[in-house]
Amino acid sequence: MIHYISSKRLGVTQVEQIMHEVTELQLSDASREAILKCRQFIEKQFQEPGGPAVYGINTGFGSLCNTHINDKDLSQLQHNLIMSHACGAGEVVPREVVKLMLFLKIQSLCYGHSGVSLELVERLMLFFNKEVFPVIYQQGSLGASGDLAPLAHLALPLLGEGEVNYQGKRISGKELHKELEIKPLQLHAKEGLALINGTQFMLAYGVHLLLESRKLWSWAHYTAALSIDGFDCNMSPFDKRLHLIRPHKGQLDSADLISQLLEGSEIGRNEKINVQDPYSFRCVPQVHGATADTLDFVEKTVMTEINSVTDNPNVFPDSQTIISGGNFHGQPLALALDYLAIAMAEIGNISERRIFQLMGGIRGLPPFLIQNAGLNSGMMILQYTAASIVSQNKQLAHPASVDSIVSSNGQEDHVSMGANAATKAYRVIDNLKTVLGIELLAAAQALEFREEKTSDLLELIIQQLREEVAPYENDRILYTDIEKARRFIEMTQIEIGVN
């Protein structure tokens, strides 16, 4: 499938489609014209010696902004910028995030306000089309002046430097150029700055995490519904009338999902002895629903950023103007990513509480969900593992966006720390997959002790799970079960609509 880069508004689901189904990017005629028009303006402005000082084009960077650069050195200035700013550290950024970074950088440059050459955009598109993914590191960005260090690593292979993952191998930029039979680019005025100014590192994480969070939010209802029947809970907390008098959208959707999942359950229809259930079961719509409303806010922020120009300075060829500002500042994304991490950590938090309740030896369930408890420890330590993980998520949910450290000799005196918010949120989501996997194991095991059946839909989920993980009859090694359950959640496609 070919996708034509244009100025048409993109949505998150469309970006997901581009990531998974598109094999080739091409420029629309309008985008090609916008790039050429902007570049022509830049070249015209600086073709004569002694032109006006414009940040990042004929000046130094950061606190060196008042240092004038000779016209003969403008290309070297951009080359030096990429080389000096490639200061990443820590773990390597996952492939799916790098692919998103590459696409989002291309998209942003094609609006015609960045002043780059057509050749540069086409080279980035070649990387995307050939699945050339630069090696980028998680640490180094302050989330203002753009994601400087990560984006410098994205740009290094354009110069024949750095490293890339290509055809299953990690090779140098020089080796890549030999394999593709291409020459390193010579950057022109403004191009290096356009490449590394921008929010594409934290934005790529934001898009990926939003998509993952939507899936896990749905999965959390599956595991919760299984736990509700496993714990023999009342169905009254999910009555639509209750939620219509407190009509938060997410709450209404969550209650509706639980009701759909448990429709036809024999366990749910049974008369209950228990008058009320613990909050972790009874308040699923209120807690999961609040997370859904948070994800809506995050999506709005991410969608705006996808369709934005975030480098600096920005070029307006129609008005013959170059404006230096602060569109690179990641505060909108930093706050959204912190909010996402908090909201998704709470999905894990309430899930762990349901796991704990299932282990308690009440409601007709044996202690730790095992017969002959004592000789067998059963699933006791599954809850410990979940508790450890949700505790770590609480630590990771501390907002990064409340921090700022002065940099560049005080010129860059307030930064967003959005990159840290992004990488922390990534760990929260990764942890949540494990917690939900543990709840899936515990809830399915609890249902082994029920004479009645749950709903047909949930019975099908259990049946599919049992192809991977057998019921727990006597003590056995459990870490492999956790990994299988986690993979089951990652790989199994679930679909359910909201009425």
Catalytic residues: 55
Specify the 3-state DSSP secondary structure of 337. helix
DSSP annotation of 238: G
Distance between CA atoms of residues 385 and 479, nearest Å: 10
> How far from chain centre, in Å, is Cα 144?
19
Query: What contacts 198, CB < 8 A, 6 or more positions away?
Result: 105, 108, 146, 147, 151, 310, 311, 328
Q: Scanning the structure block, which residue is given the tokens 């050749």?
A: 119
Residue type, position 306, single letter: I
Task: From 452, 264, 439, 293, select the one nearest 369 (Cα to Cα).
Answer: 439
- Where do runs of H (alpha helix) occur along 95-184? 95-109, 118-129, 148-155, 173-180
Single-letter residue type at 3: H
Q: Quick one: which of 63, 137, 80 has its CA closest to 406?
A: 63
- For residues 85 and 149, the answer to whether their CB atoms sit within 8 Å is yes
Rounded to whole angstroms, the maximal C-alpha distance in the chain is 88
Among 157, 93, 86, which residue's Cα sits nearest to residue 120?
A: 157
Question: Which one-letter DSSP state was computed for residue 267?
Answer: H
- DSSP annotation of 59 reads B
Whether the CB-CB separation of 192 and 151 falls below 8 Å is answered with no
| Residue 439, helix vs strand vs coil | helix
Residue with tokens 């979940």: 386
Written as six digits, the tokens of 34 are 């916008």
Helix axes 479-491, 418-447, angle to 10 degrees: 110
